[in-house]
Chains A and B, each alone.
Chain A
Amino acid sequence: MKYVIETTEVSKIYDGVVPVKAVDEVSLQIENNEFTAIVGPSGSGKTTLLNMIGGLDRPTSGSIKVNGFELANMSENELIDFRLKHIGFVFQSYNLIPVLTAKENTEFIILMQKIDKKLRDERVEKLLKEVGLGDKMNSRPTQLSGGQQQRVAVARALASKPDFVLADEPTANLDSKSTENLLDIMARLNQEEGVTFVFSTHDQRVIDRARRVVTLVDGKISSDERR
C-alpha cells in the first residue's frame, strides 16, 4: 500500500556533551485523508518527528518517504522545492509575513509555482473564504486576531495543494473560541476536500477531534489509537 507518509525506524540524535536521542526508531505510516494528532509530553520528540517528516530536519538514521519519495536522498534545494509542492505548514506562532496582506500571504506560495494570475486569484479567494476570512483579504497580520492569523496560515498551507498539512501545535497560542473555530475549519477541509492533516499537539481539544492519535514518550511510539 502506498502511504502519504511512511517512516521506517527513524531516529534523531542531537550531538552534545551528552548526546540526546530525540526520536528513537519510529516507524509510522499515515494514509491519505487522515486527521492525525501526534501527542506526548514536552520533550517527547513530537516536533522533531514533524520536522523530519516535513523535510526541515534530517534523521540520524532510518527512512522517511513522502508519497514514495525518499527525503533522505534529496539535496537541500530539492527538499525546498519538494516542500513547496508537496507539504503545507502551519506553525505555532502563525509566522505570517507582516508586510503582506492576508491575500498576499496566501498567494505568495502559489506565485512561486508560476500559476496563472486568474487561477491564482480564484484559488486564494476561495481558500480565504473557506477559512472565513473573505472580508479580511486586504488586512495585514497586525490587523488580525491570533485566530484569524492562524486561519490565514491554514489557507497559505493549502494554497499549493499539498499532499498533506503539517501543523506544529497550531492552537497553542489561541483562545478556546478560536481553537474550536480553527479545528472546525480543518476538520471540514479534511472531510469535504480530503486534506490530510498531521498535528503535533498536547492540546486536549485537538486530541479530542483527531481520528488517530499517536503518542510519543521519550522519542518512541507508546500508543497508536485509531478512532
Chain B
Amino acid sequence: MLTKIAWRNIWRNKIRSLVVIIALALGLWAGAFSSAFYEGMMKQRINDVIESEMSHFQFHEPNFREELQAKYFISGAESIEADMASAPHVIGSTGRVVATAMMGSANKNGAAKLIGVDPEKEKVVTKLNEKLIEGDYFESVSRNPILISQKMAESFHVKLKSKLVLTVQDLNGEIVASSFRVVGIYKSGNGMLDEVNAYVRRSDLPSIMSLDAQDYHEIAVLLDNHDLAEPMAAEYQEKYPNLEVKSWLDLATGMRYMVEAGSTFAYVIVGIILIALLFSIINTMLMAVMERTREIGMLMAVGFNKRKVFMMIMLETVFLSMIGGPLGLLVAFLFIQATGTNGIDLGAMGETYNELGFSAIVYPELALESYINITVMVFAMAILAAIYPARKALKLNPSEAIRKI
C-alpha cells in the first residue's frame, strides 16, 4: 500500500513530476553523452598511441630517450628480436634507428626526427603504409627514399621527388649529411608527430651514421591485448636489466594520468549534473511535502509511524529519479550508439584537437559498467534528495498539521 500511495502521489501533480523527470533525463543524457564523448576520444587516443606511435612496449638503451645520441644503441638486438618472434601475444616487433636531424630543403631548414624503419615490419607494427596520402611506400626510388608528413611538405615547400638534405650526428659524434628523395607524403592524424617525424629505410642509415646493421635505438613491440603491455614490459625488463623496457603508458607523456583519470572524469561530470539535479528534486519534494502537510499529519494521526512516512517520501523521490534516470540513460544509449557508429566530425575544431594528438572524428562510447555506475549514482542521489523533505515531514506535529489549510 505504501508503494501504491507513493507511486500515485507522484502523479498528483503531473506537470511538476514530468518537469523533474525530463530535467533528470536531460541531465543524465548530457552527462552520459559527454562522458561517452570523452571516453571515445580517450580510447581513440590510446589506440592511436599504441597502434601508430608507441606500440605496446619498447626497448631502449637506458640513456637513449633522454640524450637521443646515436651511441646509445641497443646491444644484443638480435636476441630480443628472436625473443619477440617466438613470444606469445606478440603481433609484431620492429627495430628502429632514431636520430634528431636538421632537415633542409631549397627553401627552409628545420628540425626533424629521423626514424629508420624496416618497411615490412613497420607495416605490421604501425601500419605506416596506410597513412600515405601521396606517393608510395619506399618503392619508387631506390636510393635514400624518405617519407614526410603533409605538414612538413607544406612547411618545407617540397613535394614528391623533391630532395631533402638531412644532417645528423654519427656514432662518433661527427656531423654528417646525406640527401634523401621524397617518395611519400603521409598524414598520421596526430599533428604533433606530423610536425617532426620523417621516415627512412633503416638499411640506408648505417653507412651514413657509421652504425652496424643490427644497431637499433629502439625496438617496438605490438601485442594482441592492451592489458598485457605492462606485465610483459615488466617481464622483459627483468630479463634485460641493462636495457630500459617501458610500456606505452610510460612512453607517451601524460597517458598514464589520462587513462587513470578517464573514468573519474566521466563520474565527475555526471556527479556535478546530479548535484544540480539533487537540489531541484529536493525543492520539488519539499513542495510536495508542504502541500500535503494536512494529509501527512492525518497519516501520522491515524497510525502511520515515522518510518512509514519517511519511506513514503523516500519512495516518491526514488520513483521520480528512477523514471527520469533510466530514461535519460536510454536516450543517451541510443544517441551514443548512433554517433558511435558514424562518428562526430569536430569540423574546424578538429584541426585543433588534431594538433594535440586527438582525432578530428570522435566515436563516443560508454562501457556497460559506466551505465550501471551512473544508475547507482542516480539511486544514491534520490535517497540523498529524499532525506531533507522526509525529515521535514517527520517534524510535523499531527495535531497542528491536520488543522493547516
**What residues of chain A have their CB less than 8 Å away from a CB belonging to chain B?**
47, 51, 54, 56-57, 76-77, 80-81, 83-85, 89, 91, 93, 95, 97-100, 104, 107-109, 111-112, 156, 160
A66 → chain B closest CB, angstroms: 14
Report chain A residues within 8 Å CB of B355.
Answer: none
Asked if B254 lies at the interface with its beta carbon under 8 angstroms from chain A, I say no
Contact B399 A81 (CB under 8 A): no
Of the listed residues B294, B295, B299, B399, the one surrounded by the most CB atoms of chain A closer than 10 A to its CB is B399
Determine whether B283 belongs to the interface, using a CB cutoff of 8 Å to chain A.
no
Any A CB within 8 A of the CB of B5:
yes
In angstroms, Cα B199 to Cα A188, docked, is 104
Asked if B305 CB lies within 8 Å of chain A CBs, one says yes
**Residues of chain B within 8 A of A85, CB atoms compared:** 303
Question: What is the CA–CA distance of A100 and B299 in the complex, to the nearest angstrom?
Answer: 13
B294 touches A97 (CB 8 A): no
Total A-B contacts with CB atoms under 8 angstroms apart: 64
Report the Cα distance A101→B24, complex, angstroms.
Answer: 31
Q: A95-B294, A99-B5 are in contact. Are A77 and B12 (CB under 8 A)?
A: no
Residue in B1, B11, B299, B300 whose beta carbon sits within 8 Å of that of A111 in the complex: B1
Provide the B1-23 mask, 1 if CB < 8 A to any CB of A, else 0.
10011001101100000000000
Whether, in the assembled complex, B306 has its beta carbon less than 8 Å from a beta carbon of chain A, the answer is yes
A54-B301, A84-B302, A107-B1 known; 5 new pairs, CB 8 Å cut-off, are A77-B306, A80-B303, A100-B4, A109-B302, A112-B304
Q: Are A56 and B305 in contact (CB under 8 A)?
A: no
Q: Check A112 against B399 for contact (C-beta < 8 Å).
A: no
* CB neighbors of A among B272-306 (8 A): 294-295, 298-306
Contact B305 A81 (CB under 8 A): yes
Smallest distance from the beta carbon of A59 to chain B beta carbons, Å? 12
* A112: nearest chain-B partner, CB-CB: B303
B305: which of A80, A91, A111 is its contact (CB, 8 Å)? A80
Any chain A CB within 8 A of the CB of B251? no
A95 to chain B: which residues have CB within 8 Å?
Answer: 294-295, 298, 402
Within 8 Å CB of A98, what residues of B?
Answer: 12, 295
Can you report 7 A-B residue pairs in the complex whose CB atoms are below 8 A from each other?
A: A51-B399, A56-B402, A77-B305, A91-B301, A99-B9, A100-B4, A104-B4
Q: How far is the CA of A54 from the CA of B301 in the complex (A)?
A: 8
Return chain B residues, CB-CB under 8 Å to A47.
403
CA distance A108 to B312 in the complex (A): 13
Residues of A within 8 A of B294 (CB): 93, 95
Q: Contact check, B302 vs A83: say whether CB atoms are below 8 A apart.
A: yes
